[in-house]
Amino acid sequence: MDLQHPFHDENGDSLHEECGVFGAINAGSEAATTTALGLHALQHRGQEAAGISSFDGTHFYTRRGLGHVAENFSSAESIAELPGFMAVGHVRYSTTGGAGLRNVQPLYADLASGGFAIAHNGNISNAATLREELVGKGAIFQSTSDTEVIIHLVATSRYPTMLDKLTDALRLVEGAYALIVATPRGMAACRDPLGIRPLQMGRMGDAVVFASETVAFDVVGAKFEREVEPGELIEVDFDGSIRSHRPFGDNPPRPCIFEHVYFSRPDSIFAGRSVYEARKAIGSELAIEAPCEADLVVPVPDSGVPAAIGYAQQSGLPFELGIIRSHYVGRTFIQPSDGARHSGVRRKHNANRGLVEGKRIVLIDDSIVRGTTSMKIVEMMRDAGATEVHFRVASPPTAHSCYYGVDTPERSKLLAARMELEPMREFIKADSLAFISIDGLYRAVGRESRDKACPQFCDACFTGDYPTRLTDFTRNQQGAAQLSFPENKPANKVA
Amino acid sequence: MDLQHPFHDENGDSLHEECGVFGAINAGSEAATTTALGLHALQHRGQEAAGISSFDGTHFYTRRGLGHVAENFSSAESIAELPGFMAVGHVRYSTTGGAGLRNVQPLYADLASGGFAIAHNGNISNAATLREELVGKGAIFQSTSDTEVIIHLVATSRYPTMLDKLTDALRLVEGAYALIVATPRGMAACRDPLGIRPLQMGRMGDAVVFASETVAFDVVGAKFEREVEPGELIEVDFDGSIRSHRPFGDNPPRPCIFEHVYFSRPDSIFAGRSVYEARKAIGSELAIEAPCEADLVVPVPDSGVPAAIGYAQQSGLPFELGIIRSHYVGRTFIQPSDGARHSGVRRKHNANRGLVEGKRIVLIDDSIVRGTTSMKIVEMMRDAGATEVHFRVASPPTAHSCYYGVDTPERSKLLAARMELEPMREFIKADSLAFISIDGLYRAVGRESRDKACPQFCDACFTGDYPTRLTDFTRNQQGAAQLSFPENKPANKVA
Amino acid sequence: MDLQHPFHDENGDSLHEECGVFGAINAGSEAATTTALGLHALQHRGQEAAGISSFDGTHFYTRRGLGHVAENFSSAESIAELPGFMAVGHVRYSTTGGAGLRNVQPLYADLASGGFAIAHNGNISNAATLREELVGKGAIFQSTSDTEVIIHLVATSRYPTMLDKLTDALRLVEGAYALIVATPRGMAACRDPLGIRPLQMGRMGDAVVFASETVAFDVVGAKFEREVEPGELIEVDFDGSIRSHRPFGDNPPRPCIFEHVYFSRPDSIFAGRSVYEARKAIGSELAIEAPCEADLVVPVPDSGVPAAIGYAQQSGLPFELGIIRSHYVGRTFIQPSDGARHSGVRRKHNANRGLVEGKRIVLIDDSIVRGTTSMKIVEMMRDAGATEVHFRVASPPTAHSCYYGVDTPERSKLLAARMELEPMREFIKADSLAFISIDGLYRAVGRESRDKACPQFCDACFTGDYPTRLTDFTRNQQGAAQLSFPENKPANKVA
Amino acid sequence: MDLQHPFHDENGDSLHEECGVFGAINAGSEAATTTALGLHALQHRGQEAAGISSFDGTHFYTRRGLGHVAENFSSAESIAELPGFMAVGHVRYSTTGGAGLRNVQPLYADLASGGFAIAHNGNISNAATLREELVGKGAIFQSTSDTEVIIHLVATSRYPTMLDKLTDALRLVEGAYALIVATPRGMAACRDPLGIRPLQMGRMGDAVVFASETVAFDVVGAKFEREVEPGELIEVDFDGSIRSHRPFGDNPPRPCIFEHVYFSRPDSIFAGRSVYEARKAIGSELAIEAPCEADLVVPVPDSGVPAAIGYAQQSGLPFELGIIRSHYVGRTFIQPSDGARHSGVRRKHNANRGLVEGKRIVLIDDSIVRGTTSMKIVEMMRDAGATEVHFRVASPPTAHSCYYGVDTPERSKLLAARMELEPMREFIKADSLAFISIDGLYRAVGRESRDKACPQFCDACFTGDYPTRLTDFTRNQQGAAQLSFPENKPANKVA
């Protein structure tokens, strides 16, 4: 089971992590091989595009493409184009506007100090403002990516060393970032001061590897060492020496709690805790907070499965596959007008009618975003003969947009921003509806409760409590000049 | 969850259903739309190629392609090429030799009586012998498919009506077949005298639909009506009249028991029983026959899940996801030599280390074919810290090849044909190994026990008890002239 | 310069040879290599599709594709798929209806006598009638090509040897054909009784080669030996022995005179005469028959060049490039509405204004089909400042359709079938217009004059004097049942 | 006929113009349509890639691709992606290293002053030096093109207006350029101070158009107005006003004389003279300077044709097509080892044996670069039976490399840099060899003779007399640090 949630694909009814990053240094001749495999393990964090830059001691090599990692980096030919002992890679979920190949990372630039390749997971919340200033000084941007701002800040920094230049640049940016940078001197991995986006460190023989999630280490055969800490910048040299820096001082960390709920793979370790165990604990808490008289616990596959197991074990109700998922999805078919109303949904999921008929069921899903798919699933269960459908959600109501690299619908589209609990229940037509409480969620991930004064996680999508300034957003709100990036509309073949 | 078993893909370590068929008649303007969606629901029965033929009252239209249904039939353009109220479709697993596009079904021919499109699931065990005779009389074959033999037998039949011609042809063939035929007079659906391969009938408004499995009816929005019976030939006319024929007399049926074990989707009904329930019952029988002291029941995803739930419920042990499956598979990556020994396996499945470590686990898989993947999974569990690994298999030992349309390795490659139980356990390095008994399997699918004199299913892959003659195989064994089909070696662009 | 006439491409305003054939036997390991290169030299005879079948003593191999020879057969991979010492190839101009890949030749069939590959240039004028009879007896056709009729006649012939079967089949067909056939016994090359379509024989070391035109021998490095004679069937065995047969008795030959006018390359030898010399002689005759007071002789490039040189040398007027041709053609661009009226034409040809301005010019073109392009060229000359434009045509008026393998517009579209000389002149807006006389054309190709009783060439497109029966055409005219081939409408990926 | 010289393609035995440019402003809704067609007419100046940027008053749109104009810009979809009334386009011959899509022009940048699209024909001879300085100040280059230097100089210029910024930038560059620039204020077209590369101006209704050659005006339906003068910068505003500037003062012009010899299409007007007439005059001069006893004048098609006509008319010898060119070239076929030695050449050109046999011929070609193809053509003529082969070349010996945008082999590969006339004759195995003299060439293009003190053309490839400084070249010669551009080796999918 993984985290892909096919119900959500069709109409944007989901939250999407926008990126995954991977880096390997001192990896003999296999930096690109390892990075390709590591990115493949992070594929769930971004399916739209993938890229790798490598360095062989003399030259940098970059290959980027639309589509999955396997489509771009599984052939011997593709790997042969990426020689060297250091590589950095990126997978990406496409942002609005589909800006094409030039926004695919790693971004690469020839600086006066030499080559500079960067992979970035997150979002810089003052990127438009910084870009405006840089262009005013003569900088020429080649992408519409916020990441490119970092490169120009590095290129124009007056500090002497690469470490100083990078620190200088990062001090000017606000928002969330997990970065891996490759230069002719070595590799740097860095997390924003609050550690909103995740970054992990591992070892594989002489090589040091970095990845958004620990599952990538399992897949490439590396040993998980530790998290890159919030606000930490780790330098690795070609002689194997590793130095940790703390350029932003100390801040209480605020890692994204949604990694536990949905983004990370269940076999990853995040913030010191097994994601699978966290999700089972969420299900268990939910069973305590919102118990239910029913015959079966049914997960919405596949992301709802661990929480459903937790709910079933806590409640004593049997865990059953009441919805069968097809693995062959991807494109929307033309629908027969004549057929059932819901064949669109059923192409991806199908009620296990023999099981469900005549039963009271508890459905477990990870979250409700717009609510339309939840409504369809409830209806599908009833059509298959379920007598009662109780909906339990393994996260609090999602009522606020994310500005830190997660693709959320605008706020007005979020069901929980539009209505209270009972109208939500009516909207999805369930017999009962319950969300885990925010404190229940914190308990499930190992805290006593949420520290209101200084929350232990970023939970802004549930609470609206944003841990950083949102400069661009605020300027836009104030009716300032349009801050969205200028766009040289690209055709499909354009660099 | 579906039936795809990604561990098996890599080295042919699995059994493959070779085909799925779907037909729709009197479907207004949506015959092709419905057929495309129905084939998509049958995609697990054949991922290598797909085709649809339609008829609009005047002309037949055919479109066939390599790859998935979605790649070939999800666009409006592709459907627009297939107008009409009748359509027949086919998905196919490639056979040895990869004979290319010309073997993709439906096969179509212009006969003196008009167009003739046919989709076939199964295998004709005297096809080479019949082909030799037909070519001797001047017939020109355009494919190497056994199905084409049926067309030539129909084309040269001296009977007057299409029904008589088809019956005449089918009386000459032996083996297994579920056929759907479209002609300018209507549609015929037919199952071989023993009903080895499945075929189901449904309704959707005025339309009559046929499919290999009932899940296709759920997905297109049709109502399941009944099985096409073994030896039954059903004619449907354009005026909606339906006639059932029994051209081969009465025979005790022998449907393939492996449909319950692995081939069919769990949300299908086969031989009158829910496949999901059958699999849970197998797991339950297995828990009774082969209990185990352990901490966790872990399915090999995804095909082992229902049996694992059954095993867990019967045994009282907790069901847990000890193996996480990646959905992003398909191509083999270059492996870092430096990395772990098993990253090839881990690219598809990864041990949920946090869960497994220090535990005694019962692994549940659907079958063992060559045994190499079972060995790797056991090893992966141990690497993740499992203290004991007990392997339980939801089918009896697979020790014989199938000649009825299932792609099995040659007998000498089957682990159970090579060794007894204890050597098998040693081979896969499990702490214990058990298969369900043949009688246990029959009990799980609803029979008291296997009727040795006249088994209620075809179980030749377990027992070697083949229910039909195997003419071509026998002639080959007798050192007769080479009976394999002549082959005009096709290049990739060849018709 | 070659024969391609880009003015004509855009709107079907030309006659197209439909095919070229090439064969090589006893060619060591290079039969396919030689055939690919030979087909490339015949590319002007058919640009839509190409195919090669080879034989290595055991198996036949076939590769066919849409597009040019270079796109399909220039790579080492493509040639490696075609091993063996015998090969037969085909290039094809697409016929009406674009029947797709399955009509691309060579056609191949597995007969009781073994493999049978055939490449055919020409058209069988009773193919629909024969097909009807064959299907009535149970034959299944895989293409809509008239050529497939020959294969079925061979397959069902009751004669014992391949030579007898082939002769038996050819006695039943009427029309025009130059055939090359490959079987497990050797190669047969054959021309219809009147020799309407050309076929040449050459040598290249131990290999015997056949081709539609001698230029193919120059390009592959073979020595031209002689024409295959009208009505001759040449057998070549694998031991090198060559036997000539005359299965149809003796008939006065009627080769297609349009090969001299337009189809063949100027560097080919046809009917014993250099095509370049023939075209120059046509120009020379034209200068005598239709002299002109003018300043310049301007060819319509490239096919009008040799006749223009002949006209210039005979008349003493200077030969000049008054029209410049672009080599980069192929697709039609969107036209600016604002621009000149004729940019469509000018994309392909452009008036050499500096030369033409203020001059009286004689334009030389090879033929007039619909007349629309001739009109545009005249207009383009006037727009460039020509004071007088005199049009001279190197063939008599084309007033009749061809039924022998040349793609002509239906008769009602032919300008010369619709009007007399003076209205034609008015239509194309020339100051004067003249065609070479039919006797002048015969003189130019080396005959004293046309023998009215028994013409020395097939000149039916000029005279309407068809040298064979036209069975299918006559039946269609008589209101008989529709004889056009049934068509299983193919989608682009269909075999 | 055009200028493509297929003999030369195979082994780099030719000089290649590196670019063509086209621009249209105030063209209603058809700026992109007109530009696409104009680029198509300039296709001979660059076949490797093409691009267009358009502006609709608000946004810029850019589409670039590898391959021909027709492959990238003939569809309605491609044009629909380029809305607006102003467009600038570029065709490009690939330079060494094949730097891929990101070097395809127009280059586009978002400057503080708004969008900036630039198309450039020529070469900047101090580009590496300038780039080094710019990168030192923090500029990030996205291509390895010398053209990008201009953009960065504009972006960082401290002058207020776009005109001043551009002038400021161009004063810093040395070398050859014909530029078309599009900004939100209008269009600028500019030629370097010496006018080495050509640029023409035309009108088409309200639109003003610019192009490398006048033939583009004929093809789009525009009227040729005048040359952009050497050192002139023409501004065109959206209100139709046109202003001419002379930012570099007055210099005696030095346009490239090779445009007359080979680069320009014969139907273009260059430096006030018809290219066709110039080439005929060269042939005529050559007949006077180097007469010959022979039977036929044979052009090496197609570029040698006009000079051959001139030679024939002056000498009284007949002009004949002794070499027939195939239009179907492009890929190299595998050659039969068994065949003739020269089938590689013959695939493209074939001797017209019937004409050539037993004759003394004068071959006319435009230039000799490496000499290998000249040698093969002479040999092909002899193999076809020519008794004497006299080689006449329509340009002086090419003995020096070009640094102004023409792709020449390094000097040591140029035949004329390696040996004197008699050894050259021996090398190509001709009976006699003559080049036109440098003064003869000047006479042919309308000058009395070459002004040695101040030559009227750039003829550096013949004389070594370079009209500008060559800063990068000189620095490289002096053993300075490597000046070639850094290269982030691109894979085929890379932006």
Alpha-carbon distance of B320 to B354, in angstroms, equals 12
Compute CA distances B481 → B148, B472, C112, whole Å: 21, 11, 14
Average pLDDT, chain B: 89
Q: CA torsion sign, B193 to B194 to B197 to B200?
A: positive
Task: Give the pLDDT mean for C281-294.
Answer: 98
Pairing outcome for strands C60-66 and C16-17: unpaired
Q: How confident is the model at residue A482 (pLDDT cuts 50, 70, 90)?
A: very low
pLDDT at A12 over 70: no
Task: Give the pLDDT mean for D430-444.
Answer: 98
H/E stretch holding C403: none
Task: Give the pLDDT mean for C452-480.
Answer: 89
Closest CA to A62 of A102, A113, A34, A17: A102
Task: Give the pLDDT mean for C250-254.
Answer: 91
Residues of D with CB under 8 A from a CB of A: 53, 59-65, 72, 78, 81-82, 100-102, 104, 108-112, 115, 135-142, 151-152, 155-156, 486-491, 493-495
H/E stretch holding A407: strand A406-407
Pairing outcome for strands D186-191 and D175-183: antiparallel
The pLDDT assigned to D487 comes to 41
pLDDT at C3 over 90: no
Instruction: List, for residues B411-449, the tens digit of each pLDDT value.
Output: 889 999 999 999 999 999 999 999 999 999 999 999 999
Phi/psi for B374 (5° steps) reads: -55, -45
pLDDT at D157 over 90: yes
Distance from CA of D476 to the nearest CA of A (A): 19
DSSP per position, D312-362 = HHHH-PPB---EEE-S--SSPPPPPTTS-TTHHHHTTEEE-HHHHTT-EEE
Under DSSP, the state recorded for D458 is: B
Neighbours of chain A (3+ CB pairs under 8 A): B, D
List B233's β-bridge partners, or say none: B190, B245
Alpha-carbon distance of D298 to B339, in angstroms, equals 68
Instruction: Decide: C and A in contact? Rule: 3+ Cβ pairs under 8 Å.
Output: no
- CA angle at residue C124 from C119 to C125, to 5 degrees? 170
The shortest CB-CB distance from B110 to any of C109, C110, C135 is to: C135
* Structure token digits, residue B100: 């290319």
Q: How confident is the model at residue C96 (pLDDT cuts 50, 70, 90)?
A: very low
> Which residues of B are annotated as part of the binding site?
256, 303, 365-366, 402, 458, 461
Task: Give the pLDDT mean for B254-271.
Answer: 95
| C-beta of residue A255 within 8 angstroms of C-beta of residue A198 | yes
Q: Determine the distance from the C-alpha atom of residue A445 to the mean position of all C-alpha atoms in its chain, rounded to a whole number.
A: 18
pLDDT at C451 over 90: yes
Phi/psi for D376 (5° steps) reads: -65, -35
Instruction: List, for residues A63-93, the tens digit of each pLDDT value.
Output: 999 989 999 999 999 999 999 999 999 999 8
Task: Give the pLDDT mean for A350-379.
Answer: 95
Chain B CB contacts of C490 under 8 Å are 62-63
Distance from CA of D494 to the nearest CA of A (A): 5
The pLDDT assigned to A117 comes to 97
The shortest CB-CB distance from B488 to any of C115, C486, C494 is to: C115
Q: Per mean pLDDT, which range of C4-13, C122-131, C274-283, C422-431 is the poorest?
A: C4-13
Across the interface, whether the CB atoms of B73 and A336 are under 8 A apart is answered no
Across the interface, whether the CB atoms of C140 and B138 are under 8 A apart is answered no
Choice between D110 and B408, residue whose per-residue pLDDT is larger = D110
Chain B CB contacts of C487 under 8 Å are 59
* Structure token digits, residue D178: 């014909």
The pLDDT assigned to A351 comes to 95
Instruction: List, for residues B347-367, the tens digit of each pLDDT value.
Output: 788 999 999 999 999 999 999
The pLDDT assigned to C475 comes to 87
Across the interface, whether the CB atoms of D333 and C28 are under 8 A apart is answered no
Alpha-carbon distance of B51 to B32, in angstroms, equals 10
The pLDDT assigned to D477 comes to 80
Q: How confident is the model at residue B17 (pLDDT cuts 50, 70, 90)?
A: low
Task: Give the pLDDT mean for A396-415.
Answer: 91
Alpha-carbon distance of D46 to D50, in angstroms, equals 8
3-state helix, strand, coil in chain A (%, to 5): 30, 25, 45
Chain C CB contacts of B101 under 8 Å are 493-495
Axis crossing angle, helix B372-383 with helix B421-428, rounded to the nearest 10: 50
pLDDT at D8 over 70: no
Residues of B with CB under 8 A from a CB of C: 59-65, 72, 78, 81-82, 101-102, 104, 108-112, 115, 135-142, 151-152, 155-156, 486-491, 493-495
Q: Hey, which of B192-196, C469-473, D8-12 has the most confident mean pLDDT?
A: B192-196
The pLDDT assigned to A100 comes to 67
pLDDT at A336 over 90: no
Alpha-carbon distance of B309 to A321, in angstroms, equals 9
The shortest CB-CB distance from B219 to any of A37, A331, A343 is to: A343
pLDDT at D465 over 50: yes
Known active-site residue A19: yes
Instruction: List, for residues C188-201, the tens digit of each pLDDT value.
Output: 999 999 999 999 99
pLDDT at C138 over 80: yes
The pLDDT assigned to B485 comes to 43
Across the interface, whether the CB atoms of D140 and A140 are under 8 A apart is answered yes
Q: How confident is the model at residue A130 (pLDDT cuts 50, 70, 90)?
A: very high
Instruction: List, for residues B460-473, the tens digit of each pLDDT value.
Output: 999 999 999 999 98
Residue ranges with strand state E in A26-85? 49-55, 60-66
The shortest CB-CB distance from C354 to any of D220, D276, D339 is to: D276
Residue holding tokens 């691709």? D65
The pLDDT assigned to C485 comes to 43
Alpha-helical regions (H) of B326-437: 343-346, 353-356, 372-383, 415-418, 421-428
Task: Give the pLDDT mean for C75-88.
Answer: 95
Under DSSP, the state recorded for D260 is: I
The pLDDT assigned to A474 comes to 87
HSE-CB at B387 with a 13 A cutoff on CA atoms is: 7
| C-beta of residue B227 within 8 angstroms of C-beta of residue B206 | no
Chain A CB contacts of B29 under 8 Å are none
* Chain C residue closest in CA terms to B137: C156
ipTM of the complex: 0.90
Alpha-carbon distance of D398 to D463, in angstroms, equals 8
pLDDT at A422 over 70: yes
* Structure token digits, residue C192: 């219809």
Alpha-carbon distance of D368 to C424, in angstroms, equals 48
Alpha-carbon distance of D137 to A152, in angstroms, equals 11
Under DSSP, the state recorded for A82 is: S
pLDDT at D260 over 90: yes
Across the interface, whether the CB atoms of B140 and C138 are under 8 A apart is answered no
pLDDT at B1 over 50: no
pLDDT at B6 over 70: no
The pLDDT assigned to A8 comes to 38
Task: Give the pLDDT mean for A309-332.
Answer: 89
Interface test with chain C among D81, D334, D343, D445, by most C beta carbons within 10 Å: D334
Across the interface, whether the CB atoms of B325 and A350 are under 8 A apart is answered no
> Residues of chain C with pLDDT > 70: what percent?
88
Instruction: List, for residues D324-333, the tens digit of each pLDDT value.
Output: 988 776 666 7
Q: Does the annotation place D54 within a ligand binding site?
A: no
pLDDT at C28 over 80: yes
Average pLDDT, chain D: 89
Task: Give the pLDDT mean for D382-411.
Answer: 93
pLDDT at B310 over 50: yes
Alpha-carbon distance of D370 to D354, in angstroms, equals 30
Task: Give the pLDDT mean for D173-189.
Answer: 97
Instruction: Decide: C and B in contact? Rule: 3+ Cβ pairs under 8 Å.
Output: yes
> Residues of chain A with pLDDT > 70: what percent?
88
The pLDDT assigned to D144 comes to 84
